[in-house]
Structure formats: structure tokens, C-alpha cells
Amino acid sequence: MIDPQSTLLMLAFAVGAGFLGALFGIGGGAIIVPVLTAFFKTPIKEAIAASVVAVVATSLAGASRYVKQELTNVRLGIFLEVATTAGAFTGALATVAAPKTLLYLALSAVLALLAVLQVTRGRAEALKIVRGDFASVEEDRISATLKLSSSYFDASANAEVSYRVRGSLKGSLASYFAGLASGSLGIGGGVLKVPVMNELMNVPIKAATATSIFMIGVTASTAAMLYYASGLVNPSIAAPLAIGVVAGSAMGTFVMNRIKPSKLKTLFGLILLFFAYLMLAKGIRLAMGIALPGG
């Protein structure tokens, strides 16, 4: 059991994690685990198990609201989830054998590049929505066959946004590596899946965020059941986290569709830079023994 003051602090922290998780489609696990271990002195395995439960809560709360807002592309989510799950399974197997130092450093570079693309192309996305460019590209054969293209109502632009999905094979391959990173390095796959859908597959940032939240729940639910069966889920930690992230997710889903796409991409780019730094810090610690904050 934890004391009441720690429970309240954990609840407040979970609200913020749930808000960010729903707003950016990242689940929040990569934020929750380091905070639990560093500030609440939670054993790492219990922290991971509680984080997975919280991610499921984030996904359930966020995904249901995004589906009602018709932001989620369910067909696309199911299509990419196959590759992501395979990647996560491979990543879990490769954790023991793979040189994590190189993985951390490589992922840091990829995240930094994606961050720059998100920030610099924010205004371009807004113009594409105004001009209808997302609907003017040609679908690939897989997208056309599976009917992956869709549309949603953008509250900030007060307009219906249609888009055609392309690059399905590239997106599926990239989603595999997103799952690989999630399984082997313990970061949320949404950190990579959102920019993959946005940059490679012509999916607007808001639809990509909503679809990522939908996908995260599918993957995390399996892990949550395994952790629960193993007795790693501590109810006194998981309960306030779950309650907090549900409340935070509700706020995140309310705000997301009201933010202009350019600002959302800029904010998401900053989040990616944060994760790029975390991966770099971990890589430097493993390679050189230098402990940077967050490493």
C-alpha cells in the first residue's frame, strides 16, 4: 500500500499523462514508467505493469471518444496493427541478443528527424487541408482494395477533411519497426506510428493521432492480461493511475480536434524531440557510462 499523499500525487500526475497520451496518440507509457521509478520509487516491473494498465485505460477512454468524433480510421488501424504486433513480438525476443546501445542511438536519430519534419511541415499541413490536397493524391492498390481512405470533421477548420491513404507497404514496414522499438526498448509505439501515418501515408495529423490511440489499446491489452496473471499489477498503484489517465484522456480528446493542425504538429514535434533526447541519454549511458538526466 502507498500513503494517501502519494496516491493523490500519483493521481494528479496520471491526469497529465492521460492528457498528453490522448492529445498526441502516444499512450503515455514512456512518461509513466520513468516517473514511477524515479519519484515514487516503484520497482521497475511493477512500474511497467501499472503503466500498461494505464495505457489500456488511456486507449479505451480516448479511442471511444475519437470513434464518436469519427476521427479514428478503424480499417487503417487494424491493417497496421498486424505489422506492429509482429514487430513487438520480435522486439521482445530480440531484447536479450540485440546491442541496445546501437538501437537507442539509432532510434534517437530517427525521432529527431521526425521531430524536425513535424515542426517544419506544420504550416504545410494546414495549407493542404485548406486546398484539399489530402484528397487529391492517388491511392495505392492495397489502400483502394481495403478501403483505407476516409474523412473526418476538423473542428478548428470547421470543415470536412477527406484524405486518401498511400504508401501502404511502406507504412506497414515502418509500423513493424515501431512495434520492434516498442517491444525491445519499452517506448510507446505511438511515438513512431503517428508520424509514420502522417508523413508516409498521407493521413492528416488528427486522424493519425486518433488511429494511434485505437491501435495502442489492442497491443497493450494483451500485455496487461499477462502482467495481471503474473501478479505484477499492484492495485494501489494501478488504480489511481487508471482513474487519472481516464480523466486526462477525456480532456485530451476534447482539446485535440479544436487545435489547429499546424500547432498540433509543432507540439508533437517537441514531444518527439523529448523522446529523442531520452533515447540518446540511454544510449550514452550504455556506451560511455555517463548518466544524463532521464538516462
The answer to whether the beta carbons of residues 36 and 50 sit under 8 Å apart is yes
Please tell me the predicted confidence (pLDDT) of residue 97: 58
The answer to whether the beta carbons of residues 185 and 100 sit under 8 Å apart is yes
Q: 196 CB contacts (<8 Å, ≥6 apart)? A: 171, 174, 175, 178
Global pTM value: 0.81
Please tell me the predicted confidence (pLDDT) of residue 189: 67
Q: How far is CA 160 from the centre of its chain?
A: 25
SS3 sequence of the chain? CCCHHHHHHHHHHHHHHHHHHHHHCCCCHHHHHHHHHHHCCCCHHHHHHHHHHHHHHHHHHHHHHHHHCCCCCHHHHHHHHHHHHHHHHHHHHHCCCCCHHHHHHHHHHHHHHHHHHHHHCHHHHHHHHHHCHHHCCCCCHHHHHHCCCEEEEECCCCEEEEECCCCHHHHHHHHHHHHHHHHHHCCCCHHHHHHHHHHHCCCCHHHHHHHHHHHHHHHHHHHHHHHHHCCCCCHHHHHHHHHHHHHHHHHHHHHHCCCCHHHHHHHHHHHHHHHHHHHHHHHHHHHHCCCCCCC
Please tell me the predicted confidence (pLDDT) of residue 50: 85
Read off the C-alpha cell for 275: 523522446
The answer to whether the beta carbons of residues 164 and 146 sit under 8 Å apart is no
- The CA R_g of the chain, rounded to the nearest whole Å, is 18
Q: What is the mean pLDDT of the chain?
A: 84
pLDDT exceeds 60 at position 18: yes
Read off the C-alpha cell for 173: 514496414
Higher pLDDT, 293 or 10: 10
The residue written with cell numbers 514487430 in the block is: 87
Range with top average pLDDT, 138-147, 153-162, 193-202, 211-220: 138-147
pLDDT exceeds 90 at position 25: no
pLDDT tens digit sequence for 80-124: 988 888 887 776 666 555 566 777 787 788 788 888 888 887 788
How far apart, in Å, do the first and last CA atoms of the chain sit? 28
Higher pLDDT, 261 or 151: 151
The 10 Å CB-count burial string (b at 16+, else e) for 203-213 is bbbbbbbbbbb
pLDDT tens digit sequence for 137-161: 999 999 999 999 999 999 988 889 9
The answer to whether the beta carbons of residues 188 and 32 sit under 8 Å apart is no
Query: Cα–Cα distance between 191 and 86 in angstroms, integer?
Result: 17
pLDDT exceeds 70 at position 184: no
Read off the C-alpha cell for 291: 548518466
